[in-house]
Amino acid sequence: MGRTRDNGRMKVGLDGSSAMWVFLTIAFAGLGFMLYVLVQLFRESMRAMRPERRVANSLVREHRPERVLMMKPLKSSMKDGTHMKKSAGIRTARITVLLATLAFGVAAPNRLLADDASKDGPAEGGRRSKIETPNPGLTERERWLLEKVEQLEKRVAELEGKVARPAEAGPSQDSADPGTAPGSDGPMLAATSGNARIGVKVSNAAIGPAAGQATEKGKSGGGREKAAPFAFADFTWLNGNSRTKDTPYATSFFTPEIRADVDYNYSFNHPKDDTIGGSSEVFRHGEVQVTQLGVGGDFHYDNVRARLMTQFGMYSQTTPRNDASPARGQWNLDNAYRYISEAYGGYHFNALHGINVDAGIFMSYIGLFSYYQFDNWAYQPSYVSSNTPWFFNGVRVQIFPTEHLKIEPWFTNGWQSYGRFNNRPGIGVQILWRPNGWLSVLGNQYMLGEEALGNPGRVRYHSDDSIEIKYFDKPENTGLDKMAFSLTGDIGCEHGGGVSCWGNSTKGPKQDFLGFMFYNRFWFHRDRFGLTLGGGKINNPGRYLVLLPPINGATAASGTPYFTENPGDPFKAWDASATFDYMPSQYITFRWEFDHRAANVPYFSGPGGVTPTSCPSAPLVENICGSPGAFVPGFAPDLKKIENRINLAILVKF
């Protein structure tokens, strides 16, 4: 049964020669773009050296005696809009005081200068020129003016310190990416650190799927500041994006993250073994279960990045079960990664608007919905998201040419796989464009991977594309205050190894994927309540992206004769859902959802369940007769074409 049934999506069909031309085109285009990136990196590194020379010169010139008065430099640190406005007001007050002082100084005698050093040399001990004791030759009025200036300087410093302290408490996490996707991705704040010693603003433009990254203290990020990608607007309204706006206890080195997903599902099919199939989010009937408990966060220092997120609960069993690649070779890859949803490290380059190079295990870039239910508008995504990858093992490069655009090439072991299925890995690219705060356009492409276990000639192509629009936004309303929709279309196919992209032919039967999903979201009472209506449909002959029902413990690697996934096997399905959310805090969601799902073949768990109650040929071990998915004499699973479910969930994210 050599086929990956993992979460998957559509593929774009090409024959072998066309696929090679597509690959060569992408390879040469990628080479040209990477050369451009290297040039930008070289230019940025050269710019980074210039401010330090200018600063060194300014330190020497700073103490020239023709300056009547030197004020302490303002600390530079990343602030949100409120802090920036307050800081601007303080700077305006300081400038006003300086201008007034200089106006009086024009009429005052030149002996106002308190520094007796030579005009060309720095002040003794490297200190700034500062009036510490009145010159005996000054008049009483002049001494009074100097005392007032010093008092005002101290007061400005106190006010500045009060404004700076909240900003220095730690970076806030903005979930504008996703994965990010995860997400997320993403990921998109640029941290700005200040060097108090020389009073120069430095930007390290640390773009990432989580919090901003801090530059190492005392080092310059170089060059002028550039706008952080996707930081120009609030994108917490997006489907698949976390809606939290800040992270408690975040520091310049570590941004913690804790997630909890606890749910109760009720199937009106009443399976006697409480097993629900056909979903990558819902697994048990009539029970309270911990679907996912994640603990981890983002590390960021001196442009070095890392992220770790655990997965305890149902996900630690169900996600590895949908990957067939551990069946190839040794070392039990499914157990090695069972309790990890994200684990990667990388580096941020201060070029363009930021470039990240990361390697490890990531949330999949394909698919609109997040792996984490807290980030989504609905608990049960439609098939084009539920059946597409939730993770990838590989390398990604996030390139931000502007603050509105992300280009993200990928190199992966395979289609939602810990290892390779055959001898060829997969490549892909994501392009994300957000021209303003109400529109997001996403394109995800995947190609050239050989994803059928034991069948090296079968190649997969897939295209997953989404658009999200916020078409109503009245945050001051106490009733309906926001509306948005998301539309996703997927298309793909496999060719070679006994199947064809273009219909039944001498090469084999048609093996393709076509689907869509649409969701509309309503927010009420200043985003305290939410209502989502939506659904979708797929057509997947060959069933290569259909989640295998867990009949007698069947897995993606084992398959089962009770639900075959052979070339040409038909599968069509559609669904609809209604979701109501209560969100008293940005960190918690109480969710109620009704799902209706249907297929053209028996697929969903019925009253009789999918677990054999006896095993005449071998002893039952962990409710499995013989090997996973094997035929059991006298047993037949109870599968239905329709399933109706109610889902209740508590979702938490810090």
Question: What is the number of structural domains in the chain?
Answer: 2
- Residue 135: band (very low, low, confident or very high) from pLDDT cuts 50, 70, 90: low
Task: Tell me which of 122, 137, 168 is where a domain ends.
Answer: 168
Q: Give pLDDT tens digits for 360-417.
A: 999 998 889 999 999 999 999 999 999 998 899 999 999 999 999 999 999 999 999 9
270 and 154: one domain?
Answer: no
Of 13-22, 260-269, 587-596, least confident by mean pLDDT is 13-22
Judge whether residue 6 has pLDDT over 70: no
Q: CA 44 to CA 453: how far, in whole Å?
A: 45
CATH of the domain at 431: 2.40.160
pLDDT of 140 reads: 73
pLDDT of 21 reads: 56
Is residue 560 included in any domain, yes or no?
A: yes
152 and 266: one domain?
Answer: no
136 and 266: one domain?
Answer: no
Task: Yes or no: say if 323 and 4 are a contact pair by the CB < 8 Å rule.
Answer: yes
Is residue 524 included in any domain, yes or no?
A: yes
Q: CA 284 to CA 291: how far, in whole Å?
A: 10
Judge whether residue 1 has pLDDT over 70: no
pLDDT of 620 reads: 82
pLDDT of 176 reads: 36
Is residue 543 included in any domain, yes or no?
A: yes
Expressed as residue numbers, the domain containing 145 is 79-168
Is residue 471 included in any domain, yes or no?
A: yes
Task: Yes or no: say if 467 and 441 are a contact pair by the CB < 8 Å rule.
Answer: yes
Is residue 334 included in any domain, yes or no?
A: no
Judge whether residue 103 has pLDDT over 50: no
403 and 507: one domain?
Answer: yes
pLDDT of 157 reads: 77
Q: CA 292 to CA 592: how far, in whole Å?
A: 18
Tell me the C-alpha to C-alpha distance, in Å, between residue 50 and each of 153, 224, 351, 389. Answer: 31, 11, 16, 46
- Residue 105: band (very low, low, confident or very high) from pLDDT cuts 50, 70, 90: very low
119 and 268: one domain?
Answer: no
Is residue 394 included in any domain, yes or no?
A: yes
Q: Give pLDDT tens digits for 466-496.
A: 999 999 999 999 999 999 999 999 999 999 9
Judge whether residue 588 has pLDDT over 80: yes
- Residue 201: band (very low, low, confident or very high) from pLDDT cuts 50, 70, 90: very low
The pair of three-digit structure tokens given for residue 141, joined into one six-digit string? 């009025």
Task: Yes or no: say if 152 and 69 are a contact pair by the CB < 8 Å rule.
Answer: no
514 and 638: one domain?
Answer: yes
278 and 150: one domain?
Answer: no
pLDDT of 40 reads: 61
pLDDT of 36 reads: 62
375 and 273: one domain?
Answer: yes
**Coil, helix or strand for 21?**
helix
Is residue 28 included in any domain, yes or no?
A: no
467 and 596: one domain?
Answer: yes
Mean pLDDT (the chain) is 78
- Residue 48: band (very low, low, confident or very high) from pLDDT cuts 50, 70, 90: low
pLDDT of 130 reads: 38
Point out which residues pair with 289 in neighbouring strands.
263
- Residue 184: band (very low, low, confident or very high) from pLDDT cuts 50, 70, 90: very low
Task: Tell me which of 153, 168, 183 is where a domain ends.
Answer: 168
Is residue 184 included in any domain, yes or no?
A: no
142 and 275: one domain?
Answer: no
Q: DSSP class of residue 212?
A: -
pLDDT of 107 reads: 39
Task: Tell me which of 168, 193, 217 is where a domain ends.
Answer: 168
pLDDT of 125 reads: 39
Burial class (CB in 10 A: 0-12, 13-18, 19+), 177: buried
Q: CA 180 to CA 128: how far, in whole Å?
A: 48
**Coil, helix or strand for 436?**
strand
**Coil, helix or strand for 552?**
helix
- Residue 169: band (very low, low, confident or very high) from pLDDT cuts 50, 70, 90: very low
Q: Give pLDDT tens digits for 285-308.
A: 999 999 999 999 999 999 999 999
Beta carbons within 10 angstroms of residue 77's beta carbon: 20
440 and 559: one domain?
Answer: yes
125 and 267: one domain?
Answer: no
pLDDT of 31 reads: 54
